[in-house]
Amino acid sequence: MGSIIALVVGLAAVLLAMVLPRRYGLAIALVVFVVLPRFIYAENSFIQGIPPFGWVVAVWLLRTLRNRAEDLKTRKQRNAMVAFLIVSLGWYVATLTWSINPLTSLGWIVPFILGVVMVAIGGRDADSLSTLRTVWLWTAGLMALYGIAEFLLESNPVYDYIRQLLSSPLVRTWSVYRVNASFGHPLYAALFYSMSAAFAFGWGIMQGKKWALVVAAVSGLATVLTVSRGGIAVLAVALVAISSIAIFRQTQLRLFGKVAISMGLIVAGVAVFQIPQLQERLFSAEALSSVAARQSLDTIIWAAAENSRFVGSGIGTSTAAAFQFNPEAFLIENAYYQLFISAGIAGVVLFALIIVVATLRALRQGDLAGLGLTLTFGIMVASFNGVESNPGILFLLGLALAHVYGARSVVTEAPETLGENTVSDPAPVEEPRRTPDDVSRAFVIPNYKTSAVKDS
């Protein structure tokens, strides 16, 4: 039953990606990723290894091959990142030769190719990225509203029903109700919501669009309602980083206003952690046991990595590799620890560098939205075991890279201008009128015409 649902949705999405204008392809892949969680097709190892969103990405990439050339600087920088991704891929493929479970390793490599490498390659298509940004914001807003409704109902009306049809109920062992929306687990939901909130916040500041800031607010609330300590903390870090750059470097607000807003952010962050559900979760038995498990992992991780002479047991196999050193069966709730075991020192360093280099580029370009994406993904994956337990989430990394390194255009579309071509004959962006003391305009970047999202 689950495989049939996945095939129908996946093939329908592929058909849409073929018949609709090219610019919709990557956005369709994102929607498929969101609405079709892995638990639906968990019974089918083939579909797990080649997830439906990847089918759409492949079609979209083929259609972008004849796309017009981008500007030289952007092309060089993007090609450098693609080359680095291919080097990383080469190492991960090499681990197949000594992997303790080649099929598991292959099941990690294929999503990395489809969700990261191919998405980064297709990032030269500015129309696709413009449409992706708008669709991401709409999708995030709708899914956040769904998550809020789920929390109020204390049930997941759509996906709990699907789980009943598939005889695959979600076993909830948490002390409080935690939103999981379509993602099958609160931590996956927290990853998507926190990335979406940070992206929407940064994009709203860069574009001066209030509707994007509304999306950021509801996505941030949905993040809180997952009651994920890591998700809430990483979103707070991203919002503070984005706000600090916007306030102190890219506005004309006076010092008193900057300090006042900074203090407001700190107070808001402290207030979030006073929410009763989060306080109950923080001191619950499962939370304390999770903390204890993480404190016991150092010896296990080092022993497992040393057992493979620090070259890895084969990408994606950290759980199996650590089994003999982990009699308590602790979860390795850190993607970098997982990769240290399965891909060795080289593998984890390459993966971390992908994120670090992209973050530095976003900072250099003043790309607040890209900074939000890379920060939230890079930090959030250090708080749970998603990168190897569900390699499909690598697609979110690919989308972040596509945004940061992709072809640029002046993207000023409102929700109703979804998919308009903004590459040819770009219109100048008029700087909004402001006064230094106008706090309501404090987050509009001056001289946006030279910012990261416009490479003429």
At 176-235, the pLDDT tens digits run 889 999 998 999 999 999 999 999 999 988 888 889 999 999 999 999 999 888 899 899
Q: Residue 438: its pLDDT value, please? A: 44
Q: Residue 94: its pLDDT value, please? A: 97
CA 91 to chain centre: 23
Burial class (CB in 10 A: 0-12, 13-18, 19+), 174: middle
Cβ-contact 70, 123 below 8 angstroms: no
Residue type, 165: L
Residue 309: count of CB within 10 angstroms of its CB: 9
Residue 269: count of CB within 10 angstroms of its CB: 16
User: Is the pTM higher than 0.75?
Assistant: yes
Q: E-strand spans in 134-255? A: none
C-alpha to C-alpha distance for 28 and 17, rounded to whole angstroms? 7
- Which residues neighbour 431 within 8 Å (Cβ) at sequence distance 6 or greater? 446, 447, 448, 449
Q: Has residue 137 got a pLDDT over 50?
A: yes
Cβ-contact 325, 305 below 8 angstroms: no
Tokens standing for residue 68:
């017009």
Residue 250 pLDDT level (bands cut at 50, 70, 90): low
Name the least confident of 236-250, 308-322, 330-344. 236-250
Q: What is the mean pLDDT of residues 405-419?
A: 47
Q: Has residue 61 got a pLDDT over 50?
A: yes
Name the least confident of 55-59, 415-419, 436-440. 415-419
Place of tokens 């493979």: 308
CA separation (Å) from 280 to 176, 232, 318, 342, 406? 7, 15, 32, 35, 42
Q: Residue 453: its pLDDT value, please? A: 38
C-alpha to C-alpha distance for 444 and 434, rounded to whole angstroms? 9
Burial class (CB in 10 A: 0-12, 13-18, 19+), 200: buried
Q: Residue 69: its pLDDT value, please? A: 53
Cβ-contact 231, 193 below 8 angstroms: yes
In three-state secondary structure terms, 307 is: helix
Q: What is the pLDDT of residues 65-88, one digit of tens each?
A: 876 556 666 778 888 899 999 999
Dihedral sign from CA coordinates of 386, 387, 392, 394: positive
DSSP state of 184: S
Q: What is the mean pLDDT of residues 286-306?
A: 74
Closest alpha carbon to 16 in 27, 28, 8, 5: 28
C-alpha to C-alpha distance for 307 and 122, rounded to whole angstroms? 39
Q: Has residue 390 got a pLDDT over 50?
A: yes
CA separation (Å) from 384 to 219, 231, 300, 379, 401? 20, 10, 16, 10, 21
Dihedral sign from CA coordinates of 327, 331, 337, 342: positive
Q: Has residue 292 got a pLDDT over 50?
A: yes
Cβ-contact 120, 82 below 8 angstroms: yes
Name the least confident of 3-7, 141-145, 269-273, 345-349. 269-273
Q: Residue 100: its pLDDT value, please? A: 96
In three-state secondary structure terms, 226 is: coil
Delimit the domains of the chain by residue range: 73-415+434-441
Q: What is the mean pLDDT of residues 139-164?
A: 94
